Copies of this chain bind each other. A is one copy, B any other.
Amino acid sequence: MKIPVGVVGAKGYAGRELIKILLSHPDVELVSLSDKIDTTEPIVQTFPQFRKITELIIEPTNVEKINRKVKVVFLALPHSVSQEYAPAFISAGKKVIDLSADFRFRDVTTYEKYYKIEHRAKKLNKEAVYGMPELFRDLIRKARLIASPGCYPTSVILGLAPIMGSGWIDVNTIIADSKSGVSGAGRTPSPTTHYYECNESIRPYSVASHRHTPEIEEKISELANQKITITFTPHLTPMDRGILSTIYVNLTCLHADKHRQSENVSEADIYKRYEKFYSEEPFVRLLPYGEMPATKSVLFSNFCDIGLKLDTRTNRLIIATAIDNLIKGASGQAVQAFNISMGIDEKTGLLHF
C-alpha cells in the first residue's frame, strides 16, 4: 500500500521539486498540497509543467484536514513558519520532514542568534534529527522530525566529513568558497534575482555572515569532536541550479609541516579515506583523484560529486563538491531521508536525473 504524503509549501521551488519527485515515487501517494493561499488553485496555475501529469490542487493550509489524510508531511516553508506547523503534525502522530532551517540546530541559541527570532518549539527541536543520510542514517530511521539540511551545508559537510575525524588537518584553516545558481534565492522576484542583474555576472554575498555558516560548523564540529569555526563565502552565479563548493583545508602532516607531530599521510591515504567513507553511499560519487566535478554532471540528480586534489606546494587539500541545490540540496535529500525513515530502498524515486 502506498504511503499517503502531503506537502505544505507547494508553491515554492523546493515544493515543486518535491512534488515532481513524489509523483513518480512508486511507494507514495501524494494526497495533499497546500500553501499560504486563500482559495484552492490547480497546481498547473503555478507550475504549468504539471499539466497532463497531475490534476492535483493546492489548498489553503489546514493542519487538521491534512492530518486526516497523510502519514508523512513535508514542510517546504520559510524558516520561522515551519516551527509553527511542525508541533501540530507531530502531536497527531505524523512524521515530519522539514526543509526549513528551523530544526537543524542542536544548539537553539545559535539558531536564534543567526535567524534573529525566538525559537517557539524548543522542546520539539531537541528530538529533531539532521536529515543527512550519509551521517545520520540510523537516527533518521527512528526520527519523528527530520530537519533536512541546507543546500550549502550539504555541499560543504559532504566534502569535509571523511577528513574531519582524521587528525590529519588543521581544523582552524577550513575555508569554503561556494558558488550557487539563482534558484537558491527562491521564487519571489527581487532586484538581486532580476534577470539583468544576475545574468553575465558573478558576485559574493553575505560574506562572513551567511546563516549556513553555523549550520556547517555545528555538524563538522560534532564530526571532529571539537569546536570549529570556518570561513564560508557564498556566490551568486548565472545559472538556474547547482552549487559548487571549493573547500580548502591545511594538512598537518605530509611534506610542508615541520612543526606539528603527526603521522605522515600520502595523497593516496587521503583518497582511500574518502573512498572508504563513501563506498556504500548511493548518492555520493567520489571522482578519480585529481578530477574535478562540474555542476552540470549532477543537475536534476540527487548526487553529490566530490573531487580531491592536494596542493603539495602549500600542503593544502582542495575538495570540490557539486550538487543540484534543489535536489540533493533540498527535495531529493528530503525524499532520501523519507525513504530511510519508511524502511524502503533509499534510492527509490531518486535515480532519475
Contacts and interface: CB of A to CB of B under 8 A. Distances in A.
Q: Which of A196, A237, A244, A287 has the most CB of B within 10 A?
A: A196
A296 to B, nearest CB: 3
A80 interface: no
Nearest to A293: B203
- Across the A-B interface, the 5 shortest Cβ-Cβ residue pairs: A201-B296, A203-B294, A208-B311, A189-B189, A177-B177
Contact of A179 (B179, B182, B242): B179
Contacts of A296: 197, 200-201, 203
A31 interface: no
A196 B175 contact: no
B294 A201 contact: yes
A20 to B, nearest CB: 7
Contacts of A293: 203
B201 A239 contact: yes
Contact of A318 (B24, B233, B322): B233
A246 B204 contact: yes
A66 B301 CA distance: 30
Nearest to A237: B202
Nearest to A20: B353
B320 A204 contact: yes
A204 B237 contact: no
Contact of A292 (B183, B197, B203): B203
Contacts of A233: 246, 318
Given A53-B351, A199-B199, A208-B310, 9 more contacts: A48-B305, A49-B301, A182-B196, A200-B299, A204-B292, A229-B313, A231-B316, A248-B248, A300-B300
Nearest to A313: B229
Contacts of A307: 204, 207
B177 A246 contact: yes
A309 interface: yes
A179 B235 contact: yes
Contact of A240 (B199, B246, B309): B199
A322 B191 CA distance: 20
Interface string A306-345: 0101111110101010100000000000000000000000
A280 to B, nearest CB: 11
Contacts of A172: 314
Given A193-B194, A196-B240, A314 B230 contact: yes
Contacts of A299: 200-201
Contact of A200 (B20, B200, B248): B200
Contacts of A353: 20, 49, 53
Given A182-B196, A208-B310, A235 B231 contact: no
A301 B300 CA distance: 13
Contacts of A312: 208
B229 A202 contact: no
B303 A52 contact: yes
A34 interface: no
Contact of A202 (B189, B198, B244, B287): B244
A285 interface: yes
B194 A320 contact: no
A115 interface: no
A87 interface: no
Nearest to A213: B313
A348 interface: no
